[in-house]
Structure 1
């Protein structure tokens, strides 16, 4: 967007606002979403219906300082009204919050791009059935900490150490870092050979993650919980077939009890025709098992 000849939209000018020189500039962004959720017999009990009228408003500013450094800030507002909404959580109704505020730097070492990001950020990686930003909510999940990466043409490695944000319903001052909920780990990425299956674009992302909650509640009991995820995510396309497969083992402990569970999450489609607009047949299969002492499922 620094080239005026390429600006063909009224908002393109907001994507490049120079500050003093060509390589120091602002990019502005925003999102406005309205959504209505209607529930008859909420929570499966015969009762008056519930209607949630939610509004999502994001405003972001991206400051680029040269080729290697940037700072990003994002304010979010999520008002909600409707009927019988009760006491919605801070992820569904929030007057104002800092949803993201981070700085990052990127460099090129040989043929490898390396970088690091520090601050509050929306973080997703790997299978969206294991880790997602909860986009259904008015406010997305954000975490605070550090993420670093190294990425080549066929390999990548991401490491992270993050803490969750606890959302209130009011203004900016009631969304503190929850130092008791820590998420850290490593995710790798491998571009598989393109000649597989007669031509494909497939990617394998093995991962090892650790999720710790110092005060996890199960029923009436509160204890320290630590979960270790070890698995892999295979995704991409091969001819008319798309796949999104995840296998994951979940270990760790809850209080004095061990956790031991497996998850196999399989999704895919088959395109009925050569055009990208052709209809597709899809299949989604999930399998999970768990074992813990005293009959408690993990």
Structure 2
């Protein structure tokens, strides 16, 4: 019954997209999001988080103010990185003409666009037994309308409205429910410095992925991505270095109309520096940022959390090998206790680019520390600022706290537009003294003394980039709980997801 419902929804999404004049996907077109499948990616030399470009594609976008735009005339995952500066032909379809509406010459123009997404999700034991009645099978709908005004190369104003609904749910998911509201609204003012680069100041409300988007991501799996309100300044010396400084507050989502605003119980600020190809051809990132929360929930208690993140990253992607290695240390105070936590993330793989279906053998390994003694005066539980939870799987069963995983995977491309990935993800607790943390809420199972083994995610993902604008994706994750996890209240679970997404 649920599968039949999902196929009906997918057919409806296809029919809706067919109402728009679309062209077949081009060779350089941006494929659907694949970073969640374990493929390495960066914002500094690759596409925005969740998009891996085809090898034939031109240099992709940088998801930062003043950064390099994406390939011309193609939709991007981070919409304000798109490049529609070229005036369309006189006989172009309407949806191409609205991407460049001249106001005063070719340098002053308005871009209009949007997104329509339908996402059927079916969780069996979404919280893996942490609470009763935890199965859910809602349908998410996301609608976006955007206007992007360019006044010459150094001034722009961007506005994006969003409407987000959830249907058929057994229990509500907050970020899925937000009626018509201002999703993004900002102004970019760029000061060119000649050979010394440029500086861009961005005040307003905006998406703000950092680095590879793992610890500060976009939350693509739900209707509402992470957005922030405040100010961001970026210095870029093209091809050499970028320095990003920000002071923002996360947006607090209220389900009504035009009622979202900054969350004054949280504060997020820091510096992120990225230098491509600086060490033996590797890109190098270093960063510090601080997330202050008036209230956080861990096994050690509930209260104020002031957490500094100090980290570095090496990354490289060639025609065959790709590698992304990141380490971060957390300090600060939680409920008056000293924080001493850390995380390490590795992704790598080898692509047989000349073989049929271009198979890629990949390996991902993560370590996020946990607390060894909840009663002492030190807190070692790792807590990310804005985690991309589908790093573990699209099901997002687990948070990045007290967790280790090892994920070998195989990815194949039966056609240039279709990608299939599969593999087992083996999961453990980092410390027996801490619990198993479920989803983004911070809720956890109580610590237990038996095996640290949690279980195994069996993952399958398939995506089809039907056209430059239309994509379909399918996910299946079965979580097989270990005996020790089940003996302490945990359960096995299953997730199925089917998405149709159209960007115009």
Tell me, yes or no, whether TM beats 0.5: yes
Does 1:270 pair with 2:350?
A: yes
How many residues matched?
290
Aligned to 1:101: 185
Pairwise CA distance, 1:42: 4.1
Aligned to 1:127: 212
Deviation per CA, 1:32-53: give whole Å up to 9, x if none: 1110110224433475842110
Pairwise CA distance, 1:99: 0.9
Aligned to 1:281: 361
How do 1:233-272 residues align onto structure 2 when only pairs under 5 Å count? 233-272=313-352
Q: Following the alignment from structure 1 to structure 2, what is the Cα–Cα distance between the partners of residues 87 and 53?
A: 11
Q: Which has the higher contact order (CA 8 A, sep 6+)?
A: 2
Aligned to 2:306: 226
Pairwise CA distance, 1:14: 1.1
Aligned to 2:148: 62
Pairwise CA distance, 1:29: 1.6
Please give the secondary structure, in 2, of the residue aligned with 1:294. coil
Moved over 3 A (4+): 1-10, 45-49, 217-222, 273-277, 290-293
Q: Following the alignment from structure 1 to structure 2, what is the Cα–Cα distance between the partners of residues 230 and 258?
A: 15
Cα distance 1:293–1:77, how it changes in 2: closer, same or farther (>3 A)? same
Q: Answer whether contact 1:208 1:228 (CA < 8 A) is retained.
A: yes
Q: Following the alignment from structure 2 to structure 1, what is the Cα–Cα distance between the partners of residues 341 and 135?
A: 37
Pairwise CA distance, 1:128: 2.0
Q: Following the alignment from structure 1 to structure 2, what is the Cα–Cα distance between the partners of residues 7 and 108?
A: 36
Aligned to 1:31: 115
Q: Following the alignment from structure 2 to structure 1, what is the Cα–Cα distance between the partners of residues 284 and 278?
A: 11
Q: Following the alignment from structure 1 to structure 2, what is the Cα–Cα distance between the partners of residues 176 and 4?
A: 37
Aligned to 1:294: 375
Pairwise CA distance, 1:21: 3.4
In the alignment, structure 2 segments of 5+ residues that lack a partner are 1-84, 382-504
Cα distance 1:96–1:220, how it changes in 2: closer, same or farther (>3 A)? farther
Q: Following the alignment from structure 1 to structure 2, what is the Cα–Cα distance between the partners of residues 9 and 205?
A: 42
Aligned to 2:139: 53
Aligned to 1:139: 224
Does 1:158 pair with 2:249?
A: no
Q: Following the alignment from structure 2 to structure 1, what is the Cα–Cα distance between the partners of residues 154 and 91?
A: 24
With 32-41 and 15-24 compared, the bigger mean Cα shift is at 15-24
Q: Answer whether contact 2:122 2:137 (CA < 8 A) is retained.
A: yes
Q: Following the alignment from structure 1 to structure 2, what is the Cα–Cα distance between the partners of residues 76 and 274?
A: 42
Aligned to 2:287: 207
In the alignment, structure 1 segments of 5+ residues that lack a partner are none
Deviation per CA, 1:13-40: give whole Å up to 9, x if none: 1111112333221101211111011022
Cα distance 1:34–1:26, how it changes in 2: closer, same or farther (>3 A)? same
Q: Out of 198, 207, 227, which is 1:113 matched to? A: 198
Cα distance 1:264–1:41, how it changes in 2: closer, same or farther (>3 A)? closer
Q: Following the alignment from structure 1 to structure 2, what is the Cα–Cα distance between the partners of residues 120 and 23?
A: 25
Cα distance 1:8–1:276, how it changes in 2: closer, same or farther (>3 A)? farther
Cα distance 1:220–1:287, how it changes in 2: closer, same or farther (>3 A)? closer
Q: Following the alignment from structure 2 to structure 1, what is the Cα–Cα distance between the partners of residues 352 and 215?
A: 29
Q: Answer whether contact 1:127 1:233 (CA < 8 A) is retained.
A: no
TM-score, normalised to structure 2's length? Answer: 0.54
Pairwise CA distance, 1:229: 0.5
Please give the secondary structure, in 2, of the residue aligned with 1:172. coil
Q: Following the alignment from structure 1 to structure 2, what is the Cα–Cα distance between the partners of residues 82 and 257?
A: 43
More strand by share: 1
Deviation per CA, 1:170-205: give whole Å up to 9, x if none: 1112x12112211111111112259x4xxx5x3111
